[in-house]
């Protein structure tokens, strides 16, 4: 636990030092999406009897939880390739699981901050939804899954420049195809089935149902939990490989 706390505390100290800048940076994309998609384009659109902005906010929260949790990969890359902090972790008696959990929980914390920003923007624009356990549970599992994936891939890339490729090929497509901006039910069957494999699709569906006061069912949480566990195991293996 002490090793885990040490890794987590280091990331939290960095986050606290940059918090004002981070909050501003995390606010830009959601604000643009709310203004362009939610107000300008979706002002006259209704989805299942709700305004498009009400449909959009839970999806944006899910998307932000993914992007900000995965952003831990960039922080790890800088620490690994430029500051050589990972070499210090290698020399210290820190179990691989403690290191992975510490970094992943730091990613979850960043994601929770970004979710709060999205909900605050929604409140400013008049969106009043129910953010209970079903909502937060889905986004917490989604954040843990992508934070764990971030640790794994940060250990596998060979340079900081390669990280941008991962964002372009994994995170950006998923952000637009994971049910953030449109209901997957509107797609043809094969496309809907393919996109249902994305963790973000399950997070968006469960978060949106929870925010609307509906029962998401157990399936999205089971899927996200299994994804988080799989990515966590991959991260542990990747850290062991990087140490070798």
What are the tens digits of pLDDT across the range 80-116?
A: 777 677 777 766 778 888 889 999 999 999 999 999 9
What are the tens digits of pLDDT across the range 5-27?
A: 888 988 899 889 989 999 999 99
What are the tens digits of pLDDT across the range 109-151?
A: 999 999 999 999 999 999 999 999 999 999 999 999 999 999 9
Q: How much is the average pLDDT of 72-78? A: 84
Q: How much is the average pLDDT of 51-61? A: 93
Mean pLDDT of the chain: 89
If one compares 43 and 153, the residue with the highest pLDDT of the two is 153
Question: Which DSSP symbol is given to 93?
Answer: T
Provide the pLDDT for residue 244. Answer: 52
Q: Which sign does the torsion angle of CA 11, 112, 122, 50 carry? A: positive
Q: What angle do CA 141, 121, 55 make, to 5 degrees?
A: 65
For residues 65 and 143, the answer to whether their CB atoms sit within 8 Å is yes
- Cα–Cα distance between 32 and 65 in angstroms, integer? 17
- Cα–Cα distance between 197 and 216 in angstroms, integer? 17
What are the tens digits of pLDDT across the range 205-242?
A: 999 999 999 999 999 999 999 999 999 999 999 988 87
Provide the pLDDT for residue 118. Answer: 96
By residue count, the chain amounts to 244
Question: Which DSSP symbol is given to 92?
Answer: T
Name the residue ranges covered by the structural domains of the chain.
2-243
């Amino acid at each position: 636990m002490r090793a885990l706390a040490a890794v987590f505390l280091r990331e939290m100290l960095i986050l606290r030092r940059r918090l004002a800048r981070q909050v501003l940076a995390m606010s830009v994309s959601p604000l643009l999406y709310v203004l362009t998609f939610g107000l300008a384009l979706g002002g006259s659109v209704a989805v299942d009897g709700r305004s498009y902005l009400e449909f959009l906010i839970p999806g944006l929260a899910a998307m932000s939880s993914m992007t900000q949790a995965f952003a831990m990969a960039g922080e790890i890359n800088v620490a690994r390739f430029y500051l050589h902090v990972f070499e210090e972790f290698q020399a210290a008696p820190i179990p691989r699981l403690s290191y992975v959990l510490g970094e992943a929980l730091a990613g979850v914390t960043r994601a929770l901050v970004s979710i709060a920003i999205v909900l605050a923007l929604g409140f400013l624009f008049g969106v009043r939804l129910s953010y209970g356990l079903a909502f937060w549970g889905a986004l917490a599992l989604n954040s843990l899954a992508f934070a764990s994936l971030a640790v794994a891939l940060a250990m596998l890339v060979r340079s900081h420049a390669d990280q941008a490729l991962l964002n372009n090929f994994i995170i950006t497509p998923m952000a637009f195809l994971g049910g953030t901006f449109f209901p997957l039910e509107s797609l043809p069957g094969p496309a809907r089935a393919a996109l249902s494999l994305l963790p973000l699709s399950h997070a968006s569906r469960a978060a949106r149902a929870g925010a609307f006061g509906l029962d998401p069912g157990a399936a999205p949480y089971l899927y996200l939990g299994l994804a988080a566990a799989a990515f966590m195991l991959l991260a542990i293996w990747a850290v062991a490989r990087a140490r070798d």
